[in-house]
Amino acid sequence: MEPREVAERHDAESGRRILVLRTTPVLSLTSVEPLLDGDVAYPVDGLVLDPDTGEVRRRDRGWFRGLLLLTVQAGRAQTPTTVNLAARMLVQHLWRTQRPPRSGGLAGGGEDYSVGQPLCTLRIL
């Protein structure tokens, strides 16, 4: 997943200790701004972000209050090797099973698993 900027609205008017982002994983928290005049802005250096769960807490263990707009950089810095390999294997399988067999039959023709080369020949870039 390519990194991208995401903005989320969170309602903490009744007070919350933790805000949970709807978009994960998260690379960084960019800003937490109030949506209403008079609400408090929270500097990001005073917050703790769990990038995997999307939980945002205050370092001083205080409460969030007000309608807030959280802006984050969501995604992964690098695609895991296992995900890359799995995607390549899937594309290779789909390519081979959707081409007509050499005998001239229909595409797929019941030969889904009779590929000529093993799947392990893929190179990881």
**Window from 4-8, 32-36, 57-61, 110-114 with minimum mean pLDDT:** 110-114
Give the pLDDT confidence score for residue 115 in this predicted structure: 52
Give the residue extent of every domain in the chain: 4-74
Return the sign of the alpha-carbon dihedral for residues 61, 62, 66, 72: negative
Report the pLDDT averaged over residues 77-84. Answer: 82
pLDDT score recorded for residue 79? 77
User: What is the dihedral sign for C-alpha 13, 25, 60, 45?
Assistant: negative
Cα–Cα dist 41/66, whole Å: 9
pLDDT band at 20 (very low <50, low <70, confident <90, very high): very high
Rounded CA separation 89/82 (Å): 11
**How many residues comprise the chain?**
125
**Residue 18: in which H helix or E strand, if any?**
strand 18-20
